Structure 1
């Protein structure tokens, strides 16, 4: 028989175990996944939600409020974040009725059986050059919140995902401050709204981009969250940093603190690592991707929470980018290779997203890694083998219309006019365009019609081109410097 004291100890132990179990459930349930659908070869929404459920994630973030997806999420345990597209922000900001209609159609039509938890207004708004959009952002957020409150919905937070370029300074972390070109009243109104509604500052934080832009001075181990291998001390704050993600997050914390908002919590709306990319995209491989995601999951699901050096012990809700490779995303090769799953729903690499597996610093992948240093050879941008001839002509026309002498040598009588072939002319135009405009952000993509190659395309042509004396000179401009 238990004594009274023994019973009390047993009850206390029981409640303590329940509390710990509940706390751990919250911790292991923080991981979310971004479910983008910019692909023509992806599993159906039904299959995708089945896959998300099987992966045991707690949250899914959408880039819209797709009716089919929201209906299929009904009755699941997934907590859902939906998004107001950028192009709808101004209308919602200017008219409460527009906000009410949006909430009626995209929230109330599915809630509460679909567990909508966040309405995100816009996506990386301050990365655009649209001043009106900047000014309309917070009014739109306020109108959405007013509409939700008017329907007695109080457990849906309103926020907006921002890129790291919202900051003017990020290193050292203590120097973090918001960009001076963003009107201070915009930033202050955003911070007041988030603070007053107890919402999160959503940030898209990619250590891959920071590292790959400066692999000489930034440690790969730090970017991959291999804590303990590298330590950096912020001499202003005195804080020690063992990984690049903490430095990035704390630069946001310091920026908010300088405006008097120390209590607004951060959520990571996007983070990840590309498992493949273009030849010149350093470090984009599956080994690094698996390592990053494994270390990220361990960090954000730890109990008690780890937090960051400036904000220790806080939980950081985190959404991994992304569920799939999306083959219709424009831009450089990495844009289409962030997925955890390929288009048949199979994992590209093995990662336990619950954080319950034993800690293991080694990845399952054993292939050799050969692109962790900048590529130093020659690269050409040529027509892809499966490119549609019908689509090549408008792409060729686009490249040549950009001027700057891109296609001068393709004119009749010029050195590269012969052979008269859409494919050969397009390969020349693509490489010439890329060489001339790459520093301005141009990519070797052309809506999937172009690919990079390290094989000199002139050697594969059926007809010799003795007149095209400038071709190699144009193409070899793409020699990458170390």
Structure 2
């Protein structure tokens, strides 16, 4: 084999491997159940300005589809529950819809998913029986157009489709939906379509705050919840809820079906009893969620597994019925001003405006242990920072520069600050359940130097929960171990050819 051909072969192989490592994606839900929303063109400009490349809409509105043309943004479009009957009854209805509502705008408008119905198991009517026939007809229409491999067909679910979700390993589908789920899961498995689920830790906390801590719901917990059946450790409710779906699928022997999250988020305002619905908590949840997802952390049961999520929602929607929180899930008000800011790249820090209270400190700041924190909170925070938080705690070991004074407060302060600086120096990164506080006074002493943002180059390079970024917030790409070793074998083999 000539050296030139070897080089071409190696390059092609590397590209092939990189092509298999797409990584998890974060998108936004663009609902329009509100008054005075901006035009679709302006909404698309807003989405583009936020570097959002994946959007879910709930119908096939022509003006919306036109607005996304030639943007490169991937769309998940919906067929409402009200249309399930005609779509399920006649193939011609699905064919006509595709011909008139989709094909004129495709592929300029990049449609990648069609959801047929939404949370039908929650509906009061018997619409669930119509979902799979409608999905089959939509799939057949796509197949006639040669698009069945490019556009996937599925339907969305609430977590109520499960009869049990705790512990995650006990996750199981509600038997009353068996007649609907069996043909649905067969369809998904046969056509390599994902199981789409809406996941809301907010509701779990709101409805059971005695059993679920706010920190656990917000990705802020410093202690693990152990699944007694598997020994798996959970640092947040989101992962636990996702794994309950995976265990439910595995329990029915559908182990190849992937899970995608079509809705998740946190409201910024609620009714008087919804005290956790605040801009601060909403930003905390969504910021931590994005970082968790783009780091390709996966879940305890599926480590490293790709998991796409769509944050709900782009705008507050004032026409929605129910409690005040139902109308306050948006990142933006209808006038396009921010409810709070979220960085969809997960690379930098963000500021809250328009009434939010989570801010980035101007200038240099440090994070230290609060003098008012309990010994238990300090110990939990220290153990978490030096473990799952991926902090290099060697400087606080005996004979090292920061070991003295040998006190829990001193050691926790060093670990808290290291985590704080490695994760963008945001308020969120100095929380530790209230055990951390920020200071503008440098806590360094003698030879014990406290890190500042940008001073650490390696501590966050290991792939652990929530930590796969350098201190500057820039994500590093690394091949998964199996691909790395395979690549080394191939290059070694090429050298001998």
- TM-score exceeds 0.5: yes
Contact 1:291 1:363 in 2 (8 A): no
Question: Equivalent of 1:92, from 69, 87, 92?
Answer: 87
Contact 1:221 1:230 in 2 (8 A): no
For residues 62-97 of structure 1, what are the alpha-carbon distances to aligned partners after superposition, in whole Å with 9 as ceiling and x for unaligned?
Answer: 011100010111111100011111011121111111
Matched, 1:280 2:276: no
Matched, 1:314 2:308: no
Counterparts of 1:169 and 1:243, CA distance in 2:
18
Question: Equivalent of 2:181, from 178, 187, 207?
Answer: 187
Matched, 1:27 2:23: yes
Please, what TM-score do these two structures have when normalized by structure 1? 0.70
Q: How many residues align?
A: 356
Equivalent position of 2:156 in the other structure? 161
Counterparts of 2:4 and 2:86, CA distance in 1:
64
Cα RMSD of the aligned pairs, angstroms, is 2.5
Counterparts of 1:23 and 1:353, CA distance in 2:
22
Please, what TM-score do these two structures have when normalized by structure 2? 0.68
Equivalent position of 1:215 in the other structure? 209
Equivalent position of 2:54 in the other structure? 59
Counterparts of 2:119 and 2:314, CA distance in 1:
19
Q: CA deviation at 1:142?
A: 0.8
Equivalent position of 1:341 in the other structure? 332
Corresponding residue SS for 1:27:
coil
Contact 2:284 2:428 in 1 (8 A): no
**Pairing of 1:333-482 with structure 2 (within 5 A):** 333-357=324-348, 359-360=423-424, 362-363=426-427
Corresponding residue SS for 2:118:
coil
Counterparts of 1:11 and 1:148, CA distance in 2:
36
Q: 1:20 to 1:152 in 2, by over 3 A?
A: closer
Counterparts of 1:193 and 1:276, CA distance in 2:
39
Corresponding residue SS for 1:100:
helix
Question: Equivalent of 2:139, from 142, 145, 148?
Answer: 145
- Structure 1, unpaired ranges of 5+: 370-482
Equivalent position of 1:243 in the other structure? 236
Counterparts of 1:246 and 1:158, CA distance in 2:
25
Equivalent position of 2:450 in the other structure? none
Q: CA deviation at 1:365?
A: 12
Counterparts of 2:251 and 2:245, CA distance in 1:
10
Counterparts of 1:316 and 1:361, CA distance in 2:
26
Counterparts of 2:16 and 2:95, CA distance in 1:
39
Matched, 1:115 2:110: yes
Contact 1:34 1:322 in 2 (8 A): yes
Corresponding residue SS for 1:71:
helix
Q: 1:340 to 1:23 in 2, by over 3 A?
A: farther
With 277-286 and 344-353 compared, the bigger mean Cα shift is at 344-353
Q: Looking at CA atoms only, which structure, 1 or 2, has the larger radius of gyration?
A: 1
Question: Equivalent of 1:258, from 251, 274, 277?
Answer: 251
Counterparts of 1:15 and 1:41, CA distance in 2:
52
Contact 1:350 1:364 in 2 (8 A): no
Corresponding residue SS for 2:259:
strand
Corresponding residue SS for 1:312:
coil
Q: CA deviation at 1:347?
A: 2.1
Question: Equivalent of 1:44, from 25, 39, 63?
Answer: 39
For residues 111-163 of structure 1, what are the alpha-carbon distances to aligned partners after superposition, in whole Å with 9 as ceiling and x for unaligned?
Answer: 111100001001111111222x1111111101100110111112100011110
Q: CA deviation at 1:348?
A: 1.7
Matched, 1:230 2:194: no
Contact 1:300 1:316 in 2 (8 A): yes
Q: 1:156 to 1:6 in 2, by over 3 A?
A: closer
Counterparts of 1:8 and 1:90, CA distance in 2:
58
Corresponding residue SS for 1:52:
helix
Counterparts of 1:169 and 1:74, CA distance in 2:
42
Q: CA deviation at 1:226?
A: 2.1
Counterparts of 2:195 and 2:427, CA distance in 1:
32
Contact 1:93 1:143 in 2 (8 A): yes
Q: CA deviation at 1:8?
A: 7.1
